[in-house]
Structure 1
Amino acid sequence: MKFTSVDGQPKKSIGEFTYDTLKNKILTLELRPGQKISENEIARKLDVSRAPVRDSFVKLAQEKLLDIYPQSGTVVSLIQLDYVEEGRFVREHIERAIVKQACEVLSEDHLFQLESNLMMQELCEKKGNHSKLFELDNEFHKLLFYGCGKIRTWEMMEFMNSHFNRLRQLRVFSTLEWSEIIAQHKHIYELIKQKLPDQADQRMSDHLRLVFFEKDCLVARFPDYFKL
């Protein structure tokens, strides 16, 4: 059953809350790759019964985020590099089309939202708030999809990108240079603003291929998190 809050917005069911919370903890690496978890432990920490936890485990296993071993237990799945590459491939080809469309259709309001996002990225880099910077990085790309009216496309892509996004999340714990990522975001924004779709397309492709260079560094630093 769902309830409605005082502001009229629907509240999540217990099942949705349990699933969303668990998935977020996996994607943000609060639950680490390879970490063993149990229904009893999660139910106790979330103050819910075992039933929604069990259902969430099944869904997350179907999404390749949990590995369930009968008679043995449940483990947060290791990051698989073939899934990372598949997610990156899908994202690159879709987002290159999106950025070209953005050059034609983004409103002044959406351009303002992108510019505001970039200002916050620069502030977070100066403050060393890399966790918030990661959120803003994701929000920058999400704004492009929303500005083009492709909300469901973004949601579908995010569903496929769980392993890719966990690798990206490792940036928060690494010494990778965020200034280069921000500079690329700013360049993409300027090309959209100037309505230069072919150049924006190429810049987005270069940007999303950064993972090729980051991957080896991250695997070397966090070898226990990857299934090689």
Structure 2
Amino acid sequence: MNTPFPVVQGSAAQRIETELRRLIIALELPPGSRLSEQDIAERHGVSRQPVREALIGLARTRLVEIQPQRGTTVVKISVRKMMEARFVREAIETAVVRRACLSFDQQSRERIDDLLEMQDNAARRDDHAAFQRYDELFHIALAEGAGCPLAWEAVQDIKAHMDRVCQLTLPGPEAMLPLIDQHRAIVAAIDSRDEEAAAEAMRRHLTEILRALPRVEAEHPELFSA
């Protein structure tokens, strides 16, 4: 695996939606940013139609708001939506690791070791973007290894509301490295086939964001909705 950012396949609309989603989550398009269909179309060398489709997709996941005659704006971070997303994600991913304890694909298990090593390296060089991508690939590998890849697809649309907060909570290696230890605890419980320990390790991992939320909300009030 040479890069954590594979080339996105699919239609022009899908590629544009994926790229805009990445920029929104990375806060390179911060809350309140206005998005111009014409500018995006020119930048990607396409007509406005696929751009419009991409923005509709982002509106469906509530990352942007489309207002007739007024344009499209990146929405502010909603704590309520983030909490709902975390609740749903916990329900799904604790079920995934319980299932993984019963049966786990060996190829996925080996891939997880590689991903943890690459994520550790990304944290130590303070590469936040790569760290986040390896984090996502770790959770994908858990779902695939447990034989339920659709579980991750269910998580993916809602997790963006958590991801923007995560972007604010990981300022350096000292914040990122403990999360890798939490990943290792999840894997150790799966290896031991301990369903309760695996579910609890996943629950602790997904609760980490709640500890940092009051601080980042106080430090960046302009990014959050009232």
Amino acid at match of 1:163: H
Matching of residue 20 in structure 1 with residue 18 in structure 2: yes
Give, in angstroms, the shift of residue 11 of structure 1. Answer: 5.1
Quote the residue 2:44 is aligned against.
Answer: 46
Give, in angstroms, the shift of residue 107 of structure 1. Answer: 2.6
Matching of residue 105 in structure 1 with residue 115 in structure 2: no
Quote the residue 2:202 is aligned against.
Answer: 204
Trace 1:79-228 onto structure 2 (pairs within 5 A). 79-173=77-171, 177-228=175-226
Quote the residue 2:5 is aligned against.
Answer: none
Whole-angstrom distance in 1 between the partners of 2:65 and 2:97: 36
User: 3-state DSSP class of the match of 1:74?
Assistant: strand
| Structure with greater Cα Rg | 1
- Per-residue deviation, residues 98-146 of structure 1 (Å, max 9, x unmatched): 1111112113222211111111122222222222111111111111101
Whole-angstrom distance in 2 between the partners of 1:20 and 1:226: 23
In structure 2, the CA distance between the partners of 1:217 and 1:69, relative to structure 1 (3 Å rule), is same
Q: Percent identity among equivalent residues?
A: 31
Whole-angstrom distance in 2 between the partners of 1:171 and 1:212: 10
Structure 1 vs Structure 2 CA RMSD: 1.9
User: 3-state DSSP class of the match of 1:195?
Assistant: coil
Unpaired runs of 5+ residues, structure 2, are 1-7
What TM-score does the superposition give when structure 2 sets the normalisation length? 0.89
Confirm or deny: 8 A CA contact 2:182 2:205 kept in the other structure. yes
Whole-angstrom distance in 2 between the partners of 1:13 and 1:69: 25
Query: For this pair of structures, how many residues does the alignment match?
Result: 219
Matching of residue 31 in structure 1 with residue 29 in structure 2: yes
In structure 2, the CA distance between the partners of 1:221 and 1:99, relative to structure 1 (3 Å rule), is same
Give, in angstroms, the shift of residue 191 of structure 1. Answer: 1.2
Unpaired runs of 5+ residues, structure 1, are 1-9
Quote the residue 2:65 is aligned against.
Answer: 67
Give, in angstroms, the shift of residue 76 of structure 1. Answer: 0.6
Quote the residue 2:3 is aligned against.
Answer: none
Confirm or deny: 8 A CA contact 1:134 1:172 kept in the other structure. no
Give, in angstroms, the shift of residue 174 of structure 1. Answer: 6.4
Whole-angstrom distance in 2 between the partners of 1:157 and 1:216: 24
